[in-house]
Structure 1
Amino acid sequence: MIEVVERVDVVAPAAVVWAAVTDWHKQGEWMLGTRVRVEEGDGRSLGSRLSARTALGPLGFTDHMEITRWEPPVSCEVMHSGRVVRGPGGFTIEARGVSRSTLVWWERLTPPMGALGVLAWRVTGPAFRLGIRHSLRRFADFAESRT
């Protein structure tokens, strides 16, 4: 299992951070190389299905997800069920007073292709983590601009 946990502090109330992070159609404005679509449901309730296309030029994959926990403005969890990304993930928002929050992004993924997938993760994992950190810094700017 691959576990990734990253945090970013945001100068915005939890409700604003929640609205920004769950604005699926705009996630591509801050998440590197990714476009998210609501495929089924309203994207704001249990059972809603999302797809996230992540690509760099012609190379990419689609991450299929179903919302399995929806507790605004605190927690959202999804189950990833794509070929490349599989397992639970989500985020929580920790209020830090009335005007500050921390977004905690987490993934607990099962690598595809057994031992080969584990080896591939050892090679790509550091870049993945850097990409998430960079994206979360962009997210903080994105959310703060909404206040």
Structure 2
Amino acid sequence: MANFLLHRTVPLPLDEAWRRLTEWPRHADAVPLTRVRITTPEPTHQGTLFVARSGVGPLSFDDPMEVTVWQPPGDDTPGRCRLEKRGRVITGWAEIEVRPGPGGRTRVVWREELRVSFVPGIVDGLLERTARYVFGRAVNRLLRQA
């Protein structure tokens, strides 16, 4: 199991940082070899289901997720989203928060607990470092691109 925490402070309004991080299909642009498909009617809300499919050909797997908390930000009030990962290969959860930061900037906090089936606990450290790197790059890319 990997637990990691990412912090970013960005020169974006709260609602724009939120939009960039929670438009689920955009995650496919930020994570290599991944496609995202929303399986419930939009817009996103508590109960929204989507699937990230990662890999190539027969080496692909689905990462189904459900939005279990959906609290978009208001005018200077924080926003919070929680995703539950419910796949056969990947389980766990992710939380995304946006809150007012210094100088009119937005503070982003991304927390995640990730479990990968068939991966022994002895490699948890490697899994955590790899996940922090991959998700850190994805968060950076999502926040940079309008």
Using the size of structure 1 for normalisation, the TM-score is 0.81
Say if 1:43 and 1:49, in contact at 8 Å, map to a contact too. Answer: no
Say if 1:76 and 1:91, in contact at 8 Å, map to a contact too. Answer: yes
Counterparts of 1:89-108 in structure 2, within 5 Å, are 89-96=94-101, 99-108=104-113
- Deviation track 1:13-61 (CA, whole Å, cap 9, x = no partner) reads 1101111111122222223433222112325111110111122x44332
Task: Give the structure 1 partner of residue 134 of structure 2.
Answer: 131
Unmatched 5+ stretches in structure 1: none
* 1:21 matched to 2:21: yes
Say if 2:21 and 2:143, in contact at 8 Å, map to a contact too. Answer: no
Unmatched 5+ stretches in structure 2: 74-78
2: distance between equivalents of 1:76 and 1:121? 25
Count residues in correspondence: 140
Task: Give the structure 1 partner of residue 76 of structure 2.
Answer: none
Using the size of structure 2 for normalisation, the TM-score is 0.82
SS in 2 for 1:52: strand
Would you identify which runs of 4 or more consecutive aligned residues in structure 1 move more than 4 Å? none
2: distance between equivalents of 1:120 and 1:40? 35
SS in 2 for 1:40: coil
2: distance between equivalents of 1:99 and 1:29? 28
Question: CA shift at 1:98, angstroms?
Answer: 7.0
2: distance between equivalents of 1:77 and 1:69? 5
Letter in 1 for 2:121: V
Task: Give the structure 1 partner of residue 46 of structure 2.
Answer: 46
Letter in 1 for 2:114: L
RMSD: 2.1
Task: Give the structure 1 partner of residue 85 of structure 2.
Answer: 80
1: distance between equivalents of 2:88 and 2:28? 21
Percent identity at matched positions? 24
